[in-house]
Structure 1
Amino acid sequence: MVELRDFRAADCRQLVEWIEGPAELWNWSGHHFSWPFDEGQLAEYAAESATPLRQSWMAFDPTNDHVVGHVSVRIDAANASGRLGRVLVAPEVRGKGYGAAMLTKALDAGFGDLGLEQIELGVWDDNANAIRLYEGLGFGCDRVLRDVVQFAGKSWSAMQMILPRSAWAADAASA
């Protein structure tokens, strides 16, 4: 349903177009970027994505080459772990299964080519759709960080989730 290709600086415009406002930017990146969001803010991120510190991809539908999403894994090689982040599905294809397909490919790459032993992530605890998706992929809640930040007049809590290689391998074997 999807394939991944490396994220490039030329993809920055696409990400900017998908982020429709400050709350969506915050949900996607936390404090790493600011509104108004522009391609210039993504230059450092694109550069880091070309190093061993981070692997970032654009997901596309191979039947029509339409770009449908973005995902990234920050790599901690010393601990053979990664942190999944910057997950974004193109607005026009949300709810059609592309997110799960994209994340499955990213997890396959993380546990495969990247040789990671575990992948973790953080998700705002009010993002029920994302939490349901991550749980469906085998992630479990490790802890909840309550009221970690104030943004847009509300207190935000972050759920930290983890997926060990053994759980991913067991899931893949049963599929």
Structure 2
Amino acid sequence: MKIREFEIDNDFDIIKDWITDERTHAMWSANHLIYPLDKDNLCKVLSEIKEMFGDKAFVAVTDEGSVVGFYCYSLNNTTNEGMLKFVVVSPQVRGKGVAGEMIKLALKEAFDNPDANAVHLNVFPENIRAKKFYEKIGFKERRTDENAFMFKDEAWGRCNMVISKLL
């Protein structure tokens, strides 16, 4: 597997149907993206987070050339912490170690920058599978804000998780 920058014209049609229900979409994007995923909206949001935070979008690609994962990453030069956002893998590869391999490659790339001391992300504690996945990778819960997000009649917490560079 390798990581390369996301190319909206080549990759959007591959990733657009990976999330098929509104609740899962909200857990993935915290409603920063419209449901169902729309190319123009994704392009606009990616442009905005690049402008505000320096985010770049990436895809994970198998040795055979298939796009199997997507995420965004930026480094805050004030805190020296990177941040992962919008992490998702193809439904066809879930549960097969692909997400773990993708995140490990993303962390390697992040920590190749000598200024990056840690990488963090936010996950809803109600997304039990995702939270356990990040814990398995080595992320530790830093804090949880209760009732930070509303989805219809549900109130979700927001758990900030962090992994530090091994010295």
TM exceeds 0.5?
yes
SS at 2:96 equivalent:
coil
SS at 1:131 equivalent:
helix
Give the C-alpha shift of residue 18 in structure 1.
1.3
- 1:173 corresponds in structure 2 to none
Structure number with the higher helix fraction is 1
Give the C-alpha shift of residue 125 in structure 1.
0.2
What are the Cα deviations for residues 71-130 of structure 1, in whole angstroms up to 9, with x where unaligned? 121321222211111100101111100000000000001111474111111101022221
Give the C-alpha shift of residue 40 in structure 1.
1.0
Q: Do the aligned residues in 2 keep the contact of 1:23 with 1:152 (CA within 8 Å)?
A: no
SS at 1:18 equivalent:
coil
The 3 A distance-change label for structure 1 pair 101 and 18 is: same
Give the C-alpha shift of residue 140 in structure 1.
0.6
Q: Do the aligned residues in 2 keep the contact of 1:85 with 1:121 (CA within 8 Å)?
A: yes
- 2:32 corresponds in structure 1 to 32
SS at 2:16 equivalent:
helix
- 1:9 corresponds in structure 2 to 8
SS at 2:37 equivalent:
coil
SS at 1:82 equivalent:
strand
Structure 1 alignment gaps of length 5 or more = 171-175
What are the Cα deviations for residues 49-82 of structure 1, in whole angstroms up to 9, with x where unaligned? 77770132100111x2111111121321222211
Q: TM-score, normalized by length of structure 2?
A: 0.89
Q: Which amino acid aligns with 2:85?
A: G
- 1:72 corresponds in structure 2 to 72
Task: State the number of aligned residues.
Answer: 165
Q: TM-score, normalized by length of structure 1?
A: 0.85
State the superposition RMSD in angstroms: 1.9
Q: Does 1:98 align with 2:82?
A: no
Structure 2 alignment gaps of length 5 or more = none
